[in-house]
Amino acid sequence: MHTMMAHVIPPLRTRFIAAVFTFIALWGCALSITRYSIPEEMEEGSFVANLATDLGLDVRSLVQRSAKLDVIHSKNYLDINKETGELLIREKIDRESICMTKTTSCFLKMDVILENPIRIFNIELEIMDINDNAPVFRRRTMHLDISEATPPGERFSLTNAVDADVGANSIKTYYLSESKYFNIDIQTGSDGSKYVDLVLNGHLDREEHAVHNLILTAVDGGVPPRSGTASIVINVLDINDNAPLFSQPVFSLNVSENSAAGTVVMTLNATDLDEGTNAQLIYSYTLYTSEKTQELFSLDPNSGEIKVKGVIDYEESQSFEMHIQAQDGGANPKSGHCKVTVFVTDLNDNYPEVTIKSVKSALTEDVSVGTLIAVVSVSDRDSGDNGKVELTLNGQEYLPFLLNKSSDGYFELLVSKPLDREIISKYDITLRVTDKGSPPLSENETITLEILDVNDNAPAFSQSFYTIHVVENNQPGALLTSLSAFDPDLNENQYLVYFIMEKVIVNTSMSMLFSINPENGDLYALKTFDYEREREFLFHIEARDSGVPPLSSNVTVHIIILDQNDNTPLIVSPWRAQGSVVEEVIPRSTDKGHLITKVIAIDADSEQNARVTYQLLQISDTTLFSLDQYNGEIRTTRMFSYRDPRQQRLVIVAKDNGDPALSATVTIKISTVEHVMSFSETTELPLEYDFFTDLNLYLVIGLGAVSFLLLITILVIIVLKCQKPKPKAMKMPPPNRNSVISRNSMISQRSSTIADSTLISSDAYWYSLFLAETRKGQVVVRQPIIPKGAGYFVSSIPRSIGPSETTDSRASTLEEPRRELP
């Protein structure tokens, strides 16, 4: 046991001795202090010092020995860059928040601690003040009450400003805004702070300037200097140094006799430039006012209001005098005086009279200007100005009437402007008679005048042009719209009758197509319209009143027929007899993409209802043929093989884009052979048959006529060239009159047809009319089939028609083909 202790004790003693020596070494190092000085408010990341260089340390040891910064009794504002050994600003430093007391020096103490072995360096960072704080007054507004009797030289203490900065950056001086009554006196305390007093320079007069507003400015000594301001509001206290004053020394006024008790004669208003009790006035009669006057008139001591108290009689006394004083409520009261003279005026106690004679109670609106309505007389029993009267019309500037003075006391009421019952149907004419008394008296008399109607307004439609859309296949008798007109007249002058203005287009009267209810203007269709034959109608409807004479107006109605999907697509190519199958023969060696045939269908409808697409309804081999849904082309998608049957059957459906859609089908039988025959099957017709249709005949005649005229022209030119020139020019022989007439007639007929008619057509129809297919160098022309119901349609709108014209258009002939194929 003792042996073990002997071995343990030496290690413990060794460690203790090492710790003691380490502490002594660290204490010795800590005794040396490194000081730095920086201004406050440096930006984050700013360089302070290089600690590694200043402390004699290796930069690499900062990381190895885990160097850290310990700030004593403060927030950590700095940081060490262990890679460079630089001391950097971590956060802005505000000197005023670190050193609360206003001391010149301000230090931030910290330790730099290194481990392995432990070593401590003392750092003191002096924070130097900058001028970052402006002077601030503890009270932004200072109020002072100074009596206007205060003598000049009086001093008043003011609240000082404070500045958080120290030294030269603290408050240096004060400034006062310009004033002829006040200045400031600046004092310096034992601690260097500045104090300021306000000094009165001159005599104050509250009545001249009741409030003085001054600005006190404190400026510090920084560069640049900062300043702070405070407002000084000085209220000048009043003394009783002004006597009451009336606006004028003598007042003269008039009072009518028999004025009621309590009638205000006048209100005296004396003014005192003082304030408070020094300006509170009391009114009273002086000894110079008679007792009789005081009995008839009362004086309010507070408001100065003079009222009638007794009965005033003009015949007893025509005037009164009152001597009145106003006294203020100051300690040493002051007073002012005035005289009031009241003149009594005679009373205008009789009202004027107005008498209506020979009056008319009703007039028609078409009476002429100057028509007499009534004779009026006026009178007044008073005398002088009180007996002079004036007669006027109330609102005369707005009325179509005037007064004409015919003799003394008599007036005529006349019509001055044209009357219009539709604007005003009744007038209440107020006659006002007023005398020239003071105050004037007046009397009113009212005449009621009724305006009778005449038929002076034509009916008016709400619109000048109506556009009505009607869907084709409508029911006969269907209501299209209701056309209503308005007539502001009365009774029979406003009863309207509607009818269609007669118009004939293509031997058809508008009254056979449309009907209108004569009483309410309801417009009906009398027949079923077909969009493919009739597109629109333009006509006029007239509204006529029942007045004498009657007045009327008309309106243009535009009927537009809208299309319905009521026509099934018609397959025109490849041609086939009714219900038969189209047969096509192609060689088996046909290449991929070869055009077998093209299905063409036409639809007599328009727009979307006429847009046709094609689909395969049945097909024997889906891999062998393709169909273009837009142009109907049937092509091979591959070459024929020995396994493919020699005959293929396709059923094509042509469908329009209407709602609901309509469709037609065609069956095509395709036969494959080793060699193609020179001519087509029975579906082809001789070429001569096709060229002699009506259209082809017209083309041949036209070409013949043009060729004949061209030949005659060439012959004439040749003859003229061959002949020798003669003194007189030869007269050219007239052209063949028959051919010219025939040609002009044909051109006129074509122009008339184009101008007056519009041909319903589609690209598919005309394409199918002259469809040419090239087969082994031979041209085969197929005969088109014109669908029933397709052809020309007649427009009911003439070529040059306006909203008020009724010109008939030239009719066009509906043409049908002469022959149909079986």
- What is the DSSP code string of 616-632? EEEES-TTTEEE-TTT-
Q: Which residue has the higher pLDDT, 676 or 418?
A: 418
Instruction: State in Å, rounded, how far the first CA of the chain is from the last one.
Output: 143
Judged against a pLDDT cut of 50, whether residue 82 lies above it is answered with: yes
Please give the pLDDT value at position 617: 86
The lowest-confidence range among 33-37, 426-430, 450-454, 461-465 is: 33-37
| Phi and psi angles of residue 643, each rounded to the nearest 5 degrees, phi first | -80, -20
Identity of residue 259:
S
Distance CA 791, CA 731 (A): 48
Per-position b or e across 263-284, b if 16+ CB within 10 A of its CB = eebeebebebbbbeebbebebe
591-607 per-position pLDDT tens digit: 888 898 898 988 888 88
Percentage of the chain with pLDDT > 70? 80
Judged against a pLDDT cut of 70, whether residue 15 lies above it is answered with: no
Judged against a pLDDT cut of 90, whether residue 306 lies above it is answered with: yes
703-745 per-position pLDDT tens digit: 888 888 889 999 999 988 887 554 443 333 443 433 333 333 3
Q: In the predicted model, what is the mean pLDDT of residues 24-31?
A: 44
Judged against a pLDDT cut of 50, whether residue 774 lies above it is answered with: no
Domain 245-345 fold is Immunoglobulin-like (2.60.40)
164-197 per-position pLDDT tens digit: 778 778 888 899 999 888 999 888 877 778 889 8
Positive or negative torsion for Cα 132, 133, 134, 135? negative
Please give the pLDDT value at position 21: 40
The lowest-confidence range among 122-136, 210-224, 472-486 is: 122-136
Q: In the predicted model, what is the mean pLDDT of residues 44-69?
A: 83
Which candidate, 194, 197, 193, places its Cα nearest to that of 144? 197
Please give the pLDDT value at position 304: 93
Q: In Å, how far from its chain's centre is CA 550?
A: 47
Judged against a pLDDT cut of 90, whether residue 18 lies above it is answered with: no
Please give the pLDDT value at position 593: 87
Judged against a pLDDT cut of 70, whether residue 780 lies above it is answered with: no
493-504 per-position pLDDT tens digit: 888 999 998 877
Please give the pLDDT value at position 133: 82
CATH code, residues 570-673:
2.60.40.60
At the second CATH level, the architecture of 34-127 is Sandwich (2.60)
Stretch(es) of the chain classified as CATH 2.60.40.60? 34-127, 136-237, 245-345, 353-434, 460-562, 570-673
Q: Does domain 460-562 have CATH number 2.60.40.60?
A: yes
Please give the pLDDT value at position 321: 93
**HEC letters along 275-322:** CHHHHCCEEEECCCCCHHHHHHEEECCCCCEEEECCCCCCCCCCEEEE
Please give the pLDDT value at position 695: 60
Please provide the average confidence, as pLDDT, over all residues in the chain.
Answer: 78
Please give the pLDDT value at position 57: 83
512-562 per-position pLDDT tens digit: 889 999 999 999 999 998 888 888 899 999 999 998 899 999 999 999 998
Please give the pLDDT value at position 814: 29
CATH class assigned to 353-434:
mainly beta
Please give the pLDDT value at position 315: 67
Distance CA 528, CA 534 (A): 10
Which candidate, 650, 645, 657, places its Cα nearest to that of 634? 650
Per-position b or e across 454-470, b if 16+ CB within 10 A of its CB = bbebbbebeeeebeeeb
Please give the pLDDT value at position 4: 30
| Most confident of the following: 377-386, 733-742, 799-808 | 377-386
Residue 78: how many other CB atoms lie within 10 Å: 22
- pLDDT bracket for residue 689 (50, 70, 90): very low
Percentage of the chain with pLDDT > 90? 23
Q: Which residue has the higher pLDDT, 731 or 508?
A: 508
What 3-state DSSP class applies to 18?
Answer: helix
- pLDDT bracket for residue 576 (50, 70, 90): confident
Q: Which residues contact 190 (CB under 8 A, 6 or more apart)?
A: none
Please give the pLDDT value at position 685: 40
Q: Which residue has the higher pLDDT, 116 or 283?
A: 283
The burial class, CB within 10 Å (0-12 / 13-18 / 19+), for 519 is: exposed
Judged against a pLDDT cut of 70, whether residue 797 lies above it is answered with: no
Q: Does domain 136-237 have CATH number 3.40.190.10?
A: no
